[in-house]
Amino acid sequence: MSYMDVLKQIKKKQIAPIYFFYGSESFFLQQLKQQLIEKVAANDEDSLAVYDLEEVPIEAAIGDAETYPFFSERKLVIAENPVFLKAKPDKLTFEHDLLALERYLAAPVDYTVLVIIAPYEKIDERKKISKLLKKHAAVAVCNPIKDNDLKQWVNSIASQLQVTINDEAYEIMEAELSNNLHQLENELQKLALYVGPNGEVTKDIAEELVSHTTTSSALRLVDAVIEKDLHKAIRIFKDLLKMKEEPIAMISLIAFQFRSILRVKLLKQQGYSQFQMQKQLGVHPYVVKIALNRERQFTVDKLERIIIQLADTDATIKSGKMEKEMAFELMLYDLIETA
């Protein structure tokens, strides 16, 4: 099952006797773990036991699972880092008794929920124990969301929060937070509180409320240059200064954006697809997507002149010929004139 399917079942208290979660997306693993702690152990430490299988053998966790709980009708036993599921297991000072785990998987007790959490991108699915876990446990694969699935995930969370996210607002959230699902969910909750039940999150609301990152602010600066909006560009620059960002670092980020636009434009002229561009440039798919949206605004000559202007300003600041904030503002004026 998918992460979302398993999460929904847990939230409805449709609890399985055994769970197996694996993958490299720590946010998903943590969410599932926390939901089980709330629904099974009721956040009661006496009903919860967590074992690190890099420190203790699996039979210790199994022995605990088979021991009847003293303080509640049901308890939660979580076993993390099962290195024996890797293709090349880490060397430990002890050996895991996998026969004990196999016996338990075949006949779990009804007063314990056992959870195996493997925070690995891949497990060795050829191993007998991997096959048994997939056969007997409720399985959730917790790998990072693919770019084309992110919008579906955002809309799913928004639906649970009883709000809608319009396309322009989604693009802002994608630019800001696509690499941080924990922060993305927090921002969705904040937006839902602002618009209320059945409300719509618009571009203006997202721009106002979503926490901005330095990289996305560089994208907004590029937008201001394209729009020839000097006032907007200066305002974004001032906001970055309040975030303690250095002008030289900002120049580097803006230069990266314009170089990306130039490289995408040149690859497009050679007939490359968006996927081929991503492979060729070795960048996040969103970088290519944004560059493709912007390259139509520029000729190759204009982009090359902008990159030279950025390099000149960088040199001016580093040589101390001009105060850095003034140099940056003059650069913004020149970029808007060039664009």
Instruction: Out of 74-83, 155-164, 307-316, pick the least confident.
Output: 155-164
Distance between CA atoms of residues 156 and 70, nearest Å: 39
Residue 190 pLDDT > 80? yes
Range 140-167 average pLDDT: 85
Take residue 298 and report the two structure tokens written for it.
């520029």
Query: What's the pLDDT tens digit per position in 4-16?
Result: 889 889 989 999 9
Range 323-329 average pLDDT: 92
Q: Is 138 helix (H, G, I), strand (E, B) or coil?
A: strand
Query: What's the pLDDT tens digit per position in 86-136?
Result: 988 888 999 999 999 999 999 999 999 999 999 998 899 999 999 999 999
Distances (CA, A) of 134 to 5, 138, 139, 186, 339: 16, 7, 6, 32, 57
CATH class of 147-209: mainly alpha
Distance between CA atoms of residues 258 and 335, nearest Å: 11
Q: Is 237 helix (H, G, I), strand (E, B) or coil?
A: helix
pLDDT of residue 120: 93
- Tell me phi and psi for residue 164, to 5 degrees: -120, 150
pLDDT of residue 99: 97
pLDDT band at 241 (very low <50, low <70, confident <90, very high): confident
User: What whole-number percentage of the chain has pLDDT above 70?
Assistant: 96
Query: What does the DSSP assignment read for 28-93?
Result: HHHHHHHHHHHHTSTT-GGGEEEEETTTS-HHHHHHHHHSPPSSSS-EEEEEE--GGGSSSPPP-S
Return the closest-CA partner of residue 191 out of 239, 160, 217, 158: 158
Q: Is 196 helix (H, G, I), strand (E, B) or coil?
A: coil
Helices (H), 210-323: 214-226, 230-242, 247-269, 274-281, 285-294, 300-318
Range 266-284 average pLDDT: 89
Which helix (H) or strand (E) covers residue 204, if one does? helix 203-209
Distances (CA, A) of 336 to 39, 207, 228, 305, 308: 56, 22, 5, 12, 14
pLDDT of residue 290: 83
pLDDT of residue 176: 65
pLDDT band at 152 (very low <50, low <70, confident <90, very high): confident
pLDDT of residue 179: 65
pLDDT of residue 215: 65
Nearest 5°: CA angle at 73, between 67 and 78? 55
Residue 208 pLDDT > 90? no
How far is CA 8 from its chain centroid? 20
pLDDT band at 240 (very low <50, low <70, confident <90, very high): confident
CATH class of 3-141: alpha beta
Residue extents of the structural domains in the chain: 3-141, 147-209, 214-338
Q: What would the CATH number be for the domain defined by 214-338?
A: 1.20.272.10
Return the closest-CA partner of residue 203 out of 235, 236, 174, 240: 174
Averaged confidence pLDDT in the chain: 89
pLDDT of residue 275: 86
Label residue 149 exposed, middle or buried (CB < 10 Å: 0-12, 13-18, 19+): exposed
Instruction: Answer with the residue of higher pLDDT: 245 or 142.
Output: 142
pLDDT of residue 239: 81
Take residue 288 and report the two structure tokens written for it.
């290519």
pTM above 0.75?
no
Range 266-286 average pLDDT: 87
Query: In 10 A of CB 188, how many CB atoms?
Result: 21
User: What whole-number percentage of the chain has pLDDT above 90?
Assistant: 56
SS (H, E, C) 271-300: CCCHHHHHHHHCCCHHHHHHHHHHHHHCCH
pLDDT band at 67 (very low <50, low <70, confident <90, very high): very high
Take residue 313 and report the two structure tokens written for it.
């300003």
pLDDT of residue 212: 67
pLDDT of residue 183: 80
Residue 268 pLDDT > 80? yes
Residue 43 pLDDT > 90? no
Residue 30 pLDDT > 70? yes
B/e letters for 3-20, b = 16+ CB within 10 Å, e = fewer, are beebbebbeeeeebbbbb
